[in-house]
Every structure is written in C-alpha cells, then in structure tokens.
Amino acid sequence: MAVLARSSSPSSLSKLLRPHSVSSLRSFSSSAADDQRVLTIETSVPFTGHRIEPPSRAVDTTPAEILSFFRDMAVMRRMEIAADSLYKAKLIRGFCHLYDGQEAVAVGMEAAITKRDGIITSYRDHCTFLGRGGTLLQAFAELMGRRDGCAKGKGGSMHFYRKEASYYGGHGIVGAQIPLGCGVAFAQKYSKDGSVTFALYGDGAANQGQLFEALNMAALLDLPAILVCENNHYGMGTAEWRAAKSPAYYKRGDYVPGLKVDGMDVLAVKQACIFAKEYALANGPIILEMDTYRYHGHSMSDPGSTYRTRDEISGVRQERDPIERVRKLILSHELASASELKDIEKEVRKEVDDAVAQAKECPVPDPSELFSNVYVKGFGAETFGPDRKEVRSVLP
C-alpha cells in the first residue's frame, strides 16, 4: 500500500528531458573521405553502474556506422508511422504496439552483437525484427496477416520471429519472455560458441515475479543472459513511479550487476551492449536499463495523451530524439550534408511505401493454415467459413 499512498510524482519533465550534450570528437585519421576511420565520440551522459565499474563514455565508431545508424533508425520510424496509418485504415487488425522513439535501443544493440546472439522481446517487436535483418515486406505482410509475413501471417503485430538471425521474437504475455531468454542462454552456454541472449522487457514488466525467478536462475547458473529493461517510463497508462517502489531498474537485480544507459543515444546503447556481452560471457547475467521513450500511445487504442502531457512528449522529441541526435552528430562532424540526409529520408520513405504496396498485394494464408502448426502433424479437423460457401478444410 505504500506505493499506492504516494501522491505526488517524483518523476518530472526535467528528469525525462536531458539535453543532447555536445559530443566531443577526436579524429584519429585526417583523411575525411575515409568511411572506416575511427571516430571516438562521447556518450550524452555517463553510464551509472550497480555493483559494477561502468564502461567508458568514449565510444569508437566510424562515419559509415553513424550513417547506417541514421538510415536504420529512419527506416524504423517510417515503418511505424506507416503501420499507424494501416491500422487506422483497418488493414492491420488485432493489437498493434509501435516502437517509434525507442529505435536507438534496437539499432545500438545490433551494432554490438552478431546474429548468433539471441534476442527475445515483448509485443513491441517490429523494429527489433528489422534490426535482425527482417525485411519491410515481411514486416508489413505479417502486420496485415498475409502469407509473406515473417510468421506466415499467423502471428500478427505481436509475434514477429526470425530464426536464422536468432530472433526468438515477440511475446504477448508481459514478462513471459524473460525466463525464455534465460533458457536460450543456457543452451548457448552449452554450445560454447561465445553467443549470448538479450532478453528485453518493459518497465511495467519489471514488476512481474517472473523476472526475479529468471534472474535468480540465470545468476545461479552463470548464464550469458543480458536482461534489457527498456524503460519508456510507462506501462500502458501507468507511470513507472506509480508501479515500482524503486524505478531504478538497473539496480533491481540486487545481486546481479546493472548499468543505466541513455537509451536515446545509439552509441551509448552500443557501448553498453558490447560491455554487457563481454561481461556476461565471463561472469553471468547483467541488467541494462535503457532510458527511452515511446512517442505513440501504448497501443493503437491508446491516444497516449491522457496520462502524460503533450509538453512532455514534444519536449522529448526536441531534446532527446535518437534520430535527431545522430543527425546533429553527422552535421557537426560533416559526415554528410543536411540535404544528403534529407535524400536518405526520401529514399527511406519510398522504400517503406513500396513495401506497403507490395504487402497489400500479398494473399491471405490458406484456410488450412488455421490447423497447421498446432501439432507437428495436423490432427484433422473440419470446418467451413461463416457463410458456409467457403472451402471446407480437412487435414490429416
């Protein structure tokens, strides 16, 4: 009851808004044309550690990498905006949770790991799928329940998977993916191939008992598991401080070390993930709390404006937007011009529009797909459409 008795919000606008710090740049190469020269850039804010010495703020990157960050995040942003319109046009049914605002987490994480490393996440899974190498067509087709979707149109928004890139996908039950991720990590430990698993969950999910059960097992077994709390500060309409006695999620593993990361800074995310992977392989689990923000409401049925102020949202957009941060970085270091970046965005927009158009043309799954994949072999069932005119399907 103590939690509920608290009446005023300790989390305020000022805490969410932290200005982009002017990054310091040390260039190790003087040839400006070289895409692969190493740039060292300082993260927006220092990392904060729990039972661990945090990594350095100086992140190594290259012009090519920074430009790819820009492009990848722009694709994700554009995809989510297109999904928003498709949902409103009733082409996407079911529940749909968008990731715009959080792109730096998916992109920074990918920059630090390989496709042999596992990722498992919640229902807010579209962009992570792209990060794992999924295509826009697969994403849109799945969103619309079409045959070419990554789950053959059978999963929908909350259930994207990509086995070839160790993407164990989207899970609808809040918190359920965390112990699953630990099981994956256990298998990886046995295979001794130097891979780890990133299990992502939200600040709301952090209050589920499953997290603590999984943490304990992972720590007991020294699993190469990295638990990533994507703290976007709200679980549906509930602000983090209303739901968590301690919203310092990186500390909540108690005996498991943790790191707080600016999840709006793609380079900080990359640095933290490199650090965490190394740590996990040598020592066992670690928690990364990514301080991030979702611009959209929780799902398409939530306008996202009843439990937070418009000022808060626009403030984050202005001060902390992950794409704008990278844009500034590119411009200030003259890696590309403003108009070149605009061109990239135009290209991205076209790519997304083309994928949407293509996905709309995809056929829906065959009716027999209703029965396949329930068991390894079909178990035989017969049905017909609601109007009795459609095909009967009978499977062995």
Partner 1 sequence: MATAMALRSFGRRTSIAARGFSGSCETEKAAKDGKPINLFSAINQALHIALDTDPRSVLDHLVGYFLFRCRLIINRVGSLFCAYVFGEDVRFGGVFRCTTGLADRFGRSRVFNTPLCEQGIVGFAIGLAAMGNRAIAEIQFADYIYPAFDQAFTAAPMAYSTKTEDSIVNEAAKFRYRSGNEFNCGGLTIRTPYGAVGHGGHYHSQSPESFFCHVPGLKVVIPRSPQQAKGLLLSCIRDPNPSIFFEPKWLYRLAVEEVPEHDYMLPLSEAEVIRQGSDITLVGWGAQLSVLEQACVEAAKEGISCELIDLRTLIPWDKETVEASVRKTGKLLISHEAPVTGGFGAEISASIAESCFLRLEAPVARICGLDTPFPLVYEQFYMPTKNKILDAIKATVNY
Ligand X SMILES: Cc1ncc(C[n+]2csc(CCOP(=O)(O)OP(=O)(O)O)c2C)c(N)n1
Binders of partner 1: how many residues, by CB under 8 A? 51
Q: Which of residues 199-218 bind Mg ion (CB under 5 A)?
A: 202-203
Options 182, 205, 266, 329; binder of partner 1; rule CB under 8 A: 205
Q: How many Cβ atoms sit within 10 Å of the Cβ of residue 197? A: 29
Options 32, 133, 385, 394; binder of partner 1; rule CB under 8 A: 385
68 binds partner 1 (CB under 8 A): no
What tokens appear for 106 in the block?
Answer: 């998916």
Which amino acid, one-letter code, is at 332? S
Would you say 43 and 249 are in contact if contact means Cβ atoms under 8 Å apart? no
Nearest-angstrom CA–CA distance, 23 and 386: 61
> The sheet that has 25-27: what strands, in order across it?
25-27, 39-42, 58-61
Q: Which does 124 bind (CB under 5 to 8 A by kind): Mg ion, ligand X, partner 1, none?
A: ligand X
Indicate the pairing of strand 167-171 with strand 118-122.
parallel
Minimum distance, C-beta of residue 112 to ligand X, in the bound complex (Å): 21
Options 68, 208, 216, 283; binder of partner 1; rule CB under 8 A: 208
370 binds partner 1 (CB under 8 A): yes
Would you say 114 and 309 are in contact if contact means Cβ atoms under 8 Å apart? no
Would you say 144 and 359 are in contact if contact means Cβ atoms under 8 Å apart? yes
Q: Which does 386 bind (CB under 5 to 8 A by kind): partner 1, Mg ion, ligand X, none?
A: partner 1
394 binds partner 1 (CB under 8 A): no
Q: Classify residue 363 by burial, with Cβ atoms within 10 Å: 0-12, 13-18, 19+.
A: exposed
What tokens appear for 346 in the block?
Answer: 């135009």
Interface ranges with ligand X (CB under 6 A): 122, 124, 172-174, 202-205, 232, 234-236, 298
Would you say 152 and 366 are in contact if contact means Cβ atoms under 8 Å apart? no
Binders of Mg ion: how many residues, by CB under 5 A? 4
Options 63, 156, 169, 183; binder of partner 1; rule CB under 8 A: 156
Options 232, 292, 299, 393; binder of Mg ion; rule CB under 5 A: 232
Minimum distance, C-beta of residue 155 to ligand X, in the bound complex (Å): 15
State which residue, 10 or 194, has the beta carbon closest to ligand X. Answer: 10
Options 2, 5, 33, 376; binder of partner 1; rule CB under 8 A: 5
Region of 257-265, 289-297, 328-336, 377-385 interacting with partner 1 (CB under 8 A):
377-385
DSSP for 206-243 reads GGSHHHHHHHHHHHHTT--EEEEEEE-SEETTEEHHHH
145 binds partner 1 (CB under 8 A): yes
Query: If you search the block for the tokens 């996407």, which residue do you land on?
Result: 92
State which residue, 1 or 282, has the beta carbon closest to partner 1. Answer: 1
State which residue, 95 or 186, has the beta carbon closest to partner 1. Answer: 95
Q: Which of residues 121-140 bind partner 1 (CB under 8 A)?
A: 123
Indicate the pairing of strand 197-202 with strand 258-262.
unpaired
Q: How many Cβ atoms sit within 10 Å of the Cβ of residue 99? A: 27
Nearest-angstrom CA–CA distance, 208 and 216: 14
Which amino acid, one-letter code, is at 187? A
Q: Which does 108 bind (CB under 5 to 8 A by kind): ligand X, partner 1, Mg ion, none?
A: none
Instruction: Give me the residue whose beta carbon is nearest to ligand X.
Output: 202
Minimum distance, C-beta of residue 361 to partner 1, in the bound complex (Å): 16
Would you say 167 and 88 are in contact if contact means Cβ atoms under 8 Å apart? no
Residues at the site binding partner 1, with contacts judged by CB under 8 A: 1, 3-5, 93-95, 123, 145, 153-159, 172-175, 204-205, 207-210, 235-238, 242-244, 306-307, 364-365, 367, 369-371, 374, 379, 381, 383-388, 390
Give me the residues that bind Mg ion (CB under 5 A), please.
202-203, 232, 235
